[in-house]
Structure 1
Amino acid sequence: MTPHEQQFLDALASAPDTASVARSVETLLAAGGPRSPGFPAAMAEALYMHLRAVSTHPAFRAWLDVYFGRRRAAFRAPGQRPNFLYYPPLAPQAWFDTGELPELAPLQGGIAAVRDELLGLLAEAPGFVPYVEKAAERDGRWRGLADSLQWSARHLVRRGLWDDALKARLPVTAAFLAEAPLAHYPPHAPEAFVSRLLPGTELPPHHGLSNIKLTAHLPVDLPPGCGIVVDGETRTWQAGDFLVFDDSFLHSAWNRGEHPRTVLIMDIWHPGLDAEERRALGHAIAVLDQVRACTATQRDS
């Protein structure tokens, strides 16, 4: 083990917050040079111990054991296959009614005002960009939608950062989102964007990243002929209500009508997570992202 590697491991063991971990990663990267053969295993052990010290919550620690391969866990529902993070303690449930979400339900009365404000914005300056990035065309499922406005977005909050111009332009929506139980796990979330599906567009069946958050749709412009299926159950959007599902279940959507379908999409915390789990998971995701960036850089160098 080199001195720089040992310094990194020692710093990770005592790091009080994610900013300290980030500084340790930057220091290690700045040192350069090849890694010692034993460093990956030592780093995994140090990372596990660091995250274990973040919380004594039994469900969080059980997830850590699964994530680091110290405990086996099977998916609890056949249609649920998150692409990034699976949190086994959460009971599998594909669809959620607004009444089941005590943090979201009080906001239902504000849907009409948000809808009106967003319709005003879109009438003036749509500003949509492709939702599926060009790089996704390597996956045959997304080839037809990669870098296409068939499925497009106007991002209000992306990777935790507000579009300041839109925030100033949309005071009602900004206040609404400030009250919403948005999932916070920087640098990936919170996220909120206006999603538009053009006529004739069908999204291929796919899974989302994780079951720790739910996807909530707020209806903006809903023409006939649109629908969404999650875990084999088809539903449609209802004016004045949220449509909420766990996108770690297999899902797809379509617009078989004659006009664009527009909704506001936001990621909210799964209601089965308590405040301590949310805090610990937010820290863990940030740290895992920082360390992953470090190892990815080493592979590419």
Structure 2
Amino acid sequence: MANTEQSPRDRLEAADRALAADPRDPRALIAKGDALSDLGDGRAAASFYNSALRAAGDGKGLEPGVIADLRRAQAALQAQARRFERHLAERLAGAGFNATTSSDRFALSLDLMAGRKRMYQQEPRFYLFPGLPQVQFQPRETLPWLAAVEAAAGDIRAELNALLAEPDLFRPYVEPRADRPNRDGMGMASNADWSALFLWKDGEEQPAIARRCPCTMEALAEVPLCRVPGRTPSILFSKLTAGARIPPHHGLINTRLICHLPLIVPPGSRFRVGNDARAWKEGQAWAFDDTIEHEAANDSSEERTILIFDVWKPELTEEERALVSAMFQAIDGYGAGGAAWGV
């Protein structure tokens, strides 16, 4: 605890002497934070409290008195953070900021600064195209074709219902490959809880199913599907059984967006990309970057089924799209057996 018999200035000098001998001494760091706080400099005090907590690590081997001081410092940090957030909110409100209607990116920056959210980055497992925006869900205004796909949701669902009457058509979304090592750290391989029925798979039409879905294919005719022969696009109906979960994971390449058109979505089925968690709503589509950590859950008592397809990111030029496609064709032309993937 701080020695209140000394003035804050005297305690500050004493703390500085102790820190000159050991810059990582948690008690000296807290003492300096206490002195600065008493001098009215809460922000500087918080930096020393933070340093004390980092220096203490897991606290093993520290004396009980030091542990008590660390807990007090942590409480002081939390109180300082609340005061700072209130101050910032008042000033920004005066500048016209509204968390509901103002810039989403600026609102996220405040959440990141305050520690309310963490920064999720693109982490493709295979290929990174540099310079693309770090965006979790793609803004609708950048996808002018999305509304037309939504308008066809009723017809697409009718085609889906006919296919659902033949449940054996659906196969586990993740199936082993004989020509590659099959690692399954998430328990999804051959798991029928997450199943799929493909109209296009790995860049090739599946004619037996596609011809049964003319409305679906017509709705996607003007969509900028990500076309890489032997790899993309994939167009599929994805089914998640009641109570099933798809664990957090990352996609392979950051040059495309994955699109969902919800068709059968009981309450309790939800999806998260990075910090943004949403509930599917029938007929309301979205597109997201699957190289940012994402997961899905169906906590309802019914099956959830959506249409999934992949498109080029709108920030890529036509030249860049052609070059990415040519690059993967060159990769697949090097020896036998391409590294195909789905969505």
TM-score (norm 2): 0.59
Paired residue for 2:65? none
Change (3 A) 1:181 1:126: farther
Paired residue for 1:82? 124
Counterpart code for 1:102:
P
Q: 1:212, CA displacement in angstroms? A: 0.4
Counterpart code for 2:236:
F
Q: 1:108, CA displacement in angstroms? A: 2.8
Change (3 A) 1:211 1:295: closer
Aligned pair 1:140/2:180, yes or no? no
Paired residue for 1:175? 218
Matches within 5 A, 1:244-259: 244-259=287-302
Aligned pair 1:117/2:159, yes or no? yes
TM-score (norm 1): 0.67
Over residues 84-121 of structure 1, what are the superposed CA-to-partner deviations in whole Å (9 max), with x where a residue is unaligned?
11111211111124333124344332222212221232
3-state secondary structure, aligned to 1:195: strand
Aligned pair 1:268/2:311, yes or no? yes
Q: 1:295, CA displacement in angstroms? A: 11
| Separation (CA, whole Å) in 2 of partners of 1:83 and 1:170 | 32
Matches within 5 A, 1:1-301: 78-124=120-166, 127-134=169-176, 138-141=183-186, 143=187, 145-291=188-334, 293=336
Q: Which runs of 5+ in 2 are unaligned?
A: 1-118
Kindly indicate whether the alpha-carbon contact (under 8 Å) linking 1:214 and 1:267 is maintained by their aligned counterparts in 2: yes
**Higher RCO, Cα 8 Å, sep 6+:** 1
| Separation (CA, whole Å) in 1 of partners of 2:224 and 2:161 | 23
Q: 1:293, CA displacement in angstroms? A: 4.0
3-state secondary structure, aligned to 2:258: strand
Counterpart code for 2:196:
A
| Separation (CA, whole Å) in 1 of partners of 2:182 and 2:332 | 24
Aligned pair count reads: 218
Change (3 A) 1:120 1:139: closer
Counterpart code for 2:140:
T
Over residues 18-75 of structure 1, what are the superposed CA-to-partner deviations in whole Å (9 max), with x where a residue is unaligned?
xxxxxxxxxxxxxxxxxxxxxxxxxxxxxxxxxxxxxxxxxxxxxxxxxxxxxxxxxx
Counterpart code for 1:184:
R
Kindly indicate whether the alpha-carbon contact (under 8 Å) linking 1:119 and 1:220 is maintained by their aligned counterparts in 2: no
Deviates more, 1:241-250 or 1:231-240: 231-240
Counterpart code for 1:258:
S
Change (3 A) 1:170 1:289: same
Q: 1:166, CA displacement in angstroms? A: 1.5
| Separation (CA, whole Å) in 2 of partners of 1:170 and 1:255 | 26
Counterpart code for 2:128:
Y
Q: 1:294, CA displacement in angstroms? A: 8.0
Kindly indicate whether the alpha-carbon contact (under 8 Å) linking 1:197 and 1:262 is maintained by their aligned counterparts in 2: yes
Kindly indicate whether the alpha-carbon contact (under 8 Å) linking 2:262 and 2:282 is maintained by their aligned counterparts in 1: yes
| Separation (CA, whole Å) in 1 of partners of 2:226 and 2:288 | 14
Counterpart code for 1:127:
L
Kindly indicate whether the alpha-carbon contact (under 8 Å) linking 2:148 and 2:219 is maintained by their aligned counterparts in 1: no
Q: 1:178, CA displacement in angstroms? A: 2.4
Change (3 A) 1:201 1:101: same
| Separation (CA, whole Å) in 1 of partners of 2:134 and 2:296 | 21
| Separation (CA, whole Å) in 2 of partners of 1:294 and 1:119 | 35
| Separation (CA, whole Å) in 1 of partners of 2:337 and 2:225 | 28
Q: Which runs of 5+ in 1 are unaligned?
A: 1-76, 297-301
| Separation (CA, whole Å) in 2 of partners of 1:78 and 1:224 | 27
Change (3 A) 1:227 1:78: closer
| Separation (CA, whole Å) in 1 of partners of 2:176 and 2:208 | 26
| Separation (CA, whole Å) in 1 of partners of 2:338 and 2:136 | 34
Kindly indicate whether the alpha-carbon contact (under 8 Å) linking 1:98 and 1:241 is maintained by their aligned counterparts in 2: no
Deviates more, 1:281-290 or 1:252-261: 281-290
Q: 1:269, CA displacement in angstroms? A: 0.8
